[in-house]
Amino acid sequence: MCKTIIIYGSTTGNCESIASAIEKNLKSKGLQTTLKNVANTSVNELFDYDLILLGSSTWGDGGLQDDFIEFDKSLSSTNLSNKKVAIFGVGNTGWPNFCGSVDTLETSIQTTGAILVGKSLRVDVDLDRNELEEWVEQIIS
């Protein structure tokens, strides 16, 4: 059974809601899934999982959500070879660097040796349920 963890960073709750919707979807498909706030998560916990979903909202000028900053720094010295990672995030196309946090996480994951699965999900304000379903299908197939 593929063990999955969803780790999110969220300031006003939007990314948290998306992470919860992803959790619900994965569980409905029978996947064993853990949901955690990045503020209470260490990169060492990633070793216990096969599929890792990282989700951050974007703040400042295309930056990571605050709680993700330290976690992202630790990723660069972590070997995640053989792990599958998928990335999601929420932003607003009204800002110049739409979902810049997703781009940052993609770059960081490339240094870990993990396999990036699917096309990263970039949510513009509101989550489209069909888009979520398609994304989940893509990352678990």
Query: Which residues here bind ligand FMN, judged by CB under 6 A?
Result: 10-15, 57-62, 65, 90-92, 95, 97-100
Distance of alpha carbon 85 from alpha carbon 78, whole angstroms: 13
Tell the smallest beta-carbon distance from residue 13 to ligand FMN (Å). 5
CB-wise, 45 or 62, nearer to ligand FMN? Answer: 62
CB-wise, 31 or 63, nearer to ligand FMN? Answer: 63
| In contact, 55 and 9? CB cutoff 8 Å | yes
Tell the smallest beta-carbon distance from residue 52 to ligand FMN (Å). 19
Closest CA to 85 of 124, 55, 57, 42: 55
CB-wise, 60 or 113, nearer to ligand FMN? Answer: 60
Q: Which residue is nearest to ligand FMN (CB)?
A: 91
| In contact, 99 and 58? CB cutoff 8 Å | yes
Distance of alpha carbon 14 from alpha carbon 88, whole angstroms: 12
